[in-house]
Structure 1
Amino acid sequence: MAQTFYVNPVSGNNTNPGSQQAPFKTITQALKVATVDTKIQLANGNYNAASGEVFPLTVPSGVTVVGNETNKGNGILIEGSGSYLSRTFAAQNVTFVLLDKAEVRGVTVTNLASRGSGVWIESTAPTVANSTFTNCKREGVFTTGEANPVILGNVFSENAANGIAIAKNSKGQIIDNTCLKTGFGIAISDTASPTLRDNKIYENRSGIVISGSARPVLRNNVCENNTDDGITVIGTALPDIGSTNNLGGNTLRNNGKFNLQNASSNKLVSVGNKIDTSKVTGNVEFADSSVPTPSSPTTPIPSSPTAPIPSSPTTPIPSSPTAPIPSSPTAPIPSSPTAPIPSSPTAPIPSSPTAPIPSSPTAPTPTPTIELTDITNHWAGGFIRELVKLAIVNGFPDRTFKPDATMTRAQYAALLVKAFNPSPNRPVIKFKDVPADFWASKVIQQAYQGLFLSGFPDNTFAPNKNIQRVQVIVSLVNGLGLSADSATVTKTFDDQAKIPEYAKDEVVKAIDKGIIVNHPNVKQLNPTRDATRAEVAVMVYQALVDADRVAAINSPYIVA
């Protein structure tokens, strides 16, 4: 039976019946008594923990939470976060969880928690409409599993990582949304196949990023004035951007690096789109119906609740896969390496708190993901698999990863350049043991200029020397300009005395950020032991977690 409950955070009381004359005080109370076909009408005001809300707010099947759809929720701010255990991504910080056929309409949602998501949709088919998502610390809406939502007419503004993230085998209709001033406007990964129609995506880092083996359908979207790319395609992804019987109608223009970057292993066929082809890279075929379009004024920015623009939006940045690099000087270097390198114990890197979050590579050259045969039951297997999906690491030709092997400083340079693509922050240096034709000379130089690595006092780099665990820690902290909330070591290791003096501050910062991994004994740091490939992979992954670029993975070996 259809019914309506009313909520007012100022004049309401949870002992009231929830009528218009005697409203509830909290959404939490209304959800407790709601049944199928219940509408929960929100008055203007702030809904947060201080007003009595308990997060996450789980909207049951067939229940609608509605504020004011005409102004996209202006004046109705729902701000908060609670822990949600996802079946596909483990523990998450979430404001709303939407069950099947639930609806959220006409509200403003903010999640200020670390890696916070506004709405979490997992294997359900809800509706999110005419709302505003702003200043969430990861993304506005995240869909995963077998999700099949309708996301319609929303504004996603100034979120730290993505406006909308669509993962796993999600489908759904993403229609008439505006995504601006965030990391990626819309990020589509894994085997997701949503339909994106009539969306306006501008002034982000990149507009739409499609990775994994995703197969989205794009129609009548506008991607313009993004700092990097309008649309980026990597991995084995293959978006439908038009056919002779169903024109694409997408407009891509005025983007900083590329309007369309195809770094996937597939050829894209563009039919009926308006694309400034002077900024197109990769294997793209333009059919006759595709016409270049000149630059046009920026799409006007819709009004939304004020929120500070993240100074350095962070998000999973798709990049080309990095096959494990052999130490042989004849080993080929990836065509677009992007990563950083750690410094030696005798030449620690000065901290660089102002170092910017690195930008994405301009022309990655990925290869299809393969299933690695030696990480199935390995303690670091989950982390390695995720890095493979992101095309940051890859296996050897025999389909192994060799997780317990060591890694050279040159190999580490190539890996981190892939992961972070650091911008130059100091002049070029010429190491006397890194000739110009050395396979890793470019990545070593980029890692050095990006403050991730330094050489030795004798002007050598020792590219074929193994990287130590403490050097990995120092390089990540300094290269990313990380700081700590505490000034002293909060964790005492059994081998605390073995931490080199130059690295003590960096270890504190790395503990604070959850970057250090100790296997098999979490109390044993082993700072000067050569790092294994698995340990390097996990610590790099944890740095990406701290940067809000990937989801956290639970592990008993992470020092926290």
Structure 2
Amino acid sequence: MVNSTLVVTLYVNPMTGNDTNTGSRLSPFKSLTRALKVTKIPTIIHLESGTYNASSGEVFPLIIPRGVTVVGNEANKGVGIVISGSGEYQSPSFGIQNITLLLVDNASLLGITVTNPSAKGTGIWIESAAPTLSNNTLSNCGREGVFTTGTAKPAILDNIFVQNTACGLVMAGHSQGEVRRNVFQRNPLGIAISDFAVPTIANNKLSENRTAIALSRNAQPVLRQNLIINNTQGGLLVNGNAVPDLGNSEDPGDNIFCDHREFDLYNATTQKLVSVGNQLDSSLVKGLVELLPINPVAVNTSYSNSSTESPPQKPSLSPCPLLTSPELNDHWAEAFIQALARMDLIHAFADGSYQPDKPMTRAQYAAMVAIAFNPFPKIPSPDFTDVPKDFWAYSAIQIAASGGFVGGFSDCTFRPDRGVQRLQVIVSLVNGLRLPAVDSGVVDVYSDRHTIPDYARTAVATATQRGIVVNYPDPKVLAPLRLATRAEVAAMVYQALVAIGRTSAIKIIRNS
């Protein structure tokens, strides 16, 4: 009897492969085009680092068929594994299009960079299919990174859409599906939704675009827990007969809009929109919009030095198990640590302990911020001489460093086992998250403010104002140069997630 679930695995290396090879790990193909010609169902195709273009033997458009998964490097969003090219595709809905990839049925693309250099070119086309796009980078496409149409129902998860000529993502036709935890940055339009599309857009970050989200025709997307900030023109533009779901009393929107020049929300239609539980500047809301608040919830923590409360957000907790380490019982940071555990952002040591009062190492800190914030790479990953590729935190350190959260020393070392200072954690979170600076006078709340180096005063003030700084047991003692404990780092990372709208603040009642 033949096992129909046997998975075929093929390997492609544009640098060392040859299309006359067998496609095994030791004898890889040179082109993805060749691998796709011999695919069976199901098949996993592993792409090694390099550029996959016409010069390396690719014939575009590349069609990823049903049951095929193309995998690069998900940990770094496909950096260094680039599919670049364009070919004509006859779309049943939109006629001839210039596209790089067509994803059919339930195909998957994981950890790849896709770019279409052609004018009006699309990186990935999805038509009446339900593929998965995860941990990819869509950049420098001549028109948009991804276009969905027909009855498409994709899962678009944890991708980066950056510097595409017209738009990061277009959803047209009767598209549905989920768009979650993606970053849309430096596109004229982050997301455009049109026709009768009704996708769920949740937990995404849209910043530095001209307009973050534009709706037209009869689009009816559901928008939840998105961070929509610092777009040069505005946040959400609604045209035609579009009606976005911006929350209701049982399921508030929890979207954050801020730092826009012209509008947070612009309703250019004649029908009234209702916004429930979203953070909006009422002076930047245009058109017929009724703003309703979320039901009151407790949002502050006794250990935060912030003078203002962070906006209430629904917890984004998954059903991950709690840590069972006895040392956490009645510990001042237990709520923060367990909340991060539920979000699957921290884990216990092999012996089941968390060791909250021990200093956190630089490697442990890099691993935590890499997982918690999954930062977009801002600089090339440095090559630290004391962090070999088989080091347990190598990938995390690369992600945290390229994302601007951590750096090395002048001798090109990282010193992963050295403890991280409280000040370093504070400055790291402010710089890595690119939080807007505030007046440094805020640090006057600390009795030991004279110990804050001049270069870090603004960052400390910013973190204090945003409620990130956590001091225990005395809120007025910053102790910036002391090594941070694992509990303190967990608390500050959690508060940083609150500050950017990723989760809700924790109310802690201190026992007297």
TM class by shorter-chain length?
Answer: 0.5 to 0.7
The answer as to 2:63 corresponding to 1:54 is no
1:302 maps to what in 2? 376
> After superposition, where does 1:490-529 map in structure 2 within 5 Å?
none
Instruction: Pick from 215, 218, 224 the counterpart of residue 220 of structure 2.
Output: 215
Do the aligned residues in 1 keep the contact of 2:278 with 2:293 (CA within 8 Å)? no
Match of 1:31, SS? helix
Task: Identify unmatched segments of 5+ residues in structure 2.
Answer: 1-5, 297-307, 312-372, 381-512
Cα distance in 1 between the residues matched to 2:374 and 2:236: 20
Q: Which amino acid aligns with 2:262?
A: K
The answer as to 2:18 corresponding to 1:13 is yes
Instruction: Pick from 150, 154, 158 the counterpart of residue 159 of structure 2.
Output: 154
Q: Which amino acid aligns with 1:151?
A: I
> After superposition, where does 1:418-437 map in structure 2 within 5 Å?
none
Q: Which amino acid aligns with 1:70?
A: A
Cα distance in 1 between the residues matched to 2:57 and 2:289: 54
Instruction: Pick from 81, 88, 111 the counterpart of residue 83 of structure 1.
Output: 88
Cα distance in 1 between the residues matched to 2:158 and 2:378: 13
Cα distance in 2 between the residues matched to 1:85 and 1:219: 34
Q: Which amino acid aligns with 2:184?
A: C
Offset from partner CA, 1:114-138 (integer Å, 9 cap, x none): 1000000000100111000110010
Q: Which amino acid aligns with 2:175?
A: S
1:73 maps to what in 2? 78
Q: Which amino acid aligns with 1:12?
A: G
CA 1:126–1:133: 2 relative to 1, 3 Å: same
Q: Which amino acid aligns with 1:33?
A: V
1:137 maps to what in 2? 142
Match of 2:212, SS? strand
> After superposition, where does 1:474-485 map in structure 2 within 5 Å?
none
1:177 CA drift (Å): 0.4
CA 1:67–1:301: 2 relative to 1, 3 Å: closer
Offset from partner CA, 1:267-292 (integer Å, 9 cap, x none): 11111111122211011111131899
CA 1:300–1:98: 2 relative to 1, 3 Å: closer
Do the aligned residues in 1 keep the contact of 2:190 with 2:212 (CA within 8 Å)? yes
Q: Which amino acid aligns with 1:302?
A: F
Cα distance in 2 between the residues matched to 1:267 and 1:259: 16
1:255 maps to what in 2? 260
1:5 CA drift (Å): 0.1
2:288 maps to what in 1? 283
Cα distance in 2 between the residues matched to 1:20 and 1:37: 18
Cα distance in 1 between the residues matched to 2:8 and 2:163: 36
Do the aligned residues in 1 keep the contact of 2:41 with 2:66 (CA within 8 Å)? yes
Q: Which amino acid aligns with 1:303?
A: P
1:125 maps to what in 2? 130
2:399 maps to what in 1? none
The answer as to 2:9 corresponding to 1:4 is yes
Match of 1:302, SS? coil
Offset from partner CA, 1:88-129 (integer Å, 9 cap, x none): 110101000000000011010110001000000000100111
Cα distance in 1 between the residues matched to 2:66 and 2:162: 28
1:265 CA drift (Å): 2.4
2:42 maps to what in 1? 37
2:28 maps to what in 1? 23
1:255 CA drift (Å): 1.0
Query: How many matched pairs?
Result: 303
Offset from partner CA, 1:471-517 (integer Å, 9 cap, x none): xxxxxxxxxxxxxxxxxxxxxxxxxxxxxxxxxxxxxxxxxxxxxxx
Cα distance in 1 between the residues matched to 2:250 and 2:259: 28
Aligned-residue Cα RMSD (Å) equals 1.9
Q: Which amino acid aligns with 1:222?
A: L
The answer as to 2:197 corresponding to 1:202 is no
1:81 CA drift (Å): 0.5
Instruction: Pick from 50, 64, 68 the counterpart of residue 69 of structure 2.
Output: 64
Do the aligned residues in 2 keep the contact of 1:144 with 1:170 (CA within 8 Å)? yes
Cα distance in 1 between the residues matched to 2:236 and 2:374: 20
TM-score (norm 1): 0.53
Instruction: Pick from 274, 279, 286 the counterpart of residue 279 of structure 2.
Output: 274
> After superposition, where does 1:83-102 map in structure 2 within 5 Å?
83-102=88-107
Instruction: Pick from 162, 171, 183 the counterpart of residue 166 of structure 1.
Output: 171
Do the aligned residues in 2 keep the contact of 1:259 with 1:275 (CA within 8 Å)? yes
Match of 1:270, SS? strand
1:227 CA drift (Å): 1.2
Match of 1:50, SS? helix
Do the aligned residues in 2 keep the contact of 1:130 with 1:154 (CA within 8 Å)? yes
CA 1:115–1:290: 2 relative to 1, 3 Å: farther
Offset from partner CA, 1:513-539 (integer Å, 9 cap, x none): xxxxxxxxxxxxxxxxxxxxxxxxxxx
Cα distance in 1 between the residues matched to 2:65 and 2:76: 25
1:156 CA drift (Å): 0.4
The answer as to 2:100 corresponding to 1:106 is no
Cα distance in 1 between the residues matched to 2:191 and 2:310: 24
Do the aligned residues in 2 keep the contact of 1:74 with 1:304 (CA within 8 Å)? no
Offset from partner CA, 1:318-361 (integer Å, 9 cap, x none): xxxxxxxxxxxxxxxxxxxxxxxxxxxxxxxxxxxxxxxxxxxx
Do the aligned residues in 2 keep the contact of 1:134 with 1:305 (CA within 8 Å)? no
Q: Which amino acid aligns with 1:82?
A: G
Q: Which amino acid aligns with 2:98?
A: N
Match of 2:268, SS? strand
Match of 1:264, SS? coil
2:182 maps to what in 1? 177
1:36 CA drift (Å): 1.4
Cα distance in 2 between the residues matched to 1:241 and 1:220: 10
Do the aligned residues in 2 keep the contact of 1:150 with 1:173 (CA within 8 Å)? yes
Cα distance in 2 between the residues matched to 1:84 and 1:100: 16
CA 1:139–1:53: 2 relative to 1, 3 Å: same
2:456 maps to what in 1? none
Match of 1:235, SS? coil
Match of 1:239, SS? coil
Cα distance in 1 between the residues matched to 2:261 and 2:84: 33
1:184 CA drift (Å): 0.5
Q: Which amino acid aligns with 2:53?
A: N
Cα distance in 2 between the residues matched to 1:60 and 1:96: 11
CA 1:114–1:11: 2 relative to 1, 3 Å: same
2:423 maps to what in 1? none
